Amino acid sequence: MDNNAQIRVEDWGRTRYGEALERQLITLNERRFGERPDTLVFTEHEPVFTLGKRRGAAEHLIADQRFLESKGIEVVETNRGGDITYHGPGQITGYLFIDLSKSRDLHLLLRRVEDMIIAVVSSYGLSCGRREGMTGVWLDQRKIAAIGMAARHWISFHGFALNVSTDLTHFKGIVPCGITNGEVTSLAKELGEPIAMATVKDRISKEFHRSFG
């Protein structure tokens, strides 16, 4: 844990999605009532497909029960923005609890988070950026990070999911984020070598301090 007076970074380790969502709401209220500073939380979820609030998101779940059971994947409806996505081992999920009471601009925060992940992915020598009309971080038509945010009482929650060494076959059970003209990738796939999760978290933490500290 980083006890910087302005911001904090925590790691919840491996979690089930429902457990992490409950903890998010507790953390959100702690931020709302000034019991903690702006905070970035890391976690690595057990395999799960999460459905966002975008209309038609459920239609992009194409896996049948046999696929879900064979892969050990849960399906959970959630209250973030966006479509359907996957969380699982080998993926860094980052939840951000940022006070937006002054800016009241969740879209601006989303773009700042995209910039943060772009900087991290670029630090590995990969050319990445945005894709017009879409959220997340892309290498041409290959999506390496998804972003879906929400806010309550002008405190943000939810955040990003960066594929480090994720089992990409799990994405075959969905149309990721409703995108039919692209594919999903990971740092390990792009670089052709194992990537240490701790190193990626360290780089994200440094960018978080730089951007929000």
Enumerate the active-site residues: 177
Q: Using alpha carbons only, what angle is made at residue 118 by residues 186 and 44, rounded to the nearest 5 degrees?
A: 50
d(CA 188, CA 165): 5
What φ, ψ does residue 109 adopt, rounded to 5°?
A: -60, -45
E strands, the chain, in order: 7-15, 38-45, 48-51, 74-77, 84-87, 91-97, 137-139, 142-152, 155-163, 183-184
Torsion of CA 145, 149, 155, 157, to 10 degrees: -60
What DSSP designation does 155 have? Answer: E
- What number of other Cβ atoms are within 10 A of residue 24's Cβ? 23
d(CA 22, CA 120): 28
d(CA 12, CA 26): 13
CB 38 within 8 A of CB 212: yes
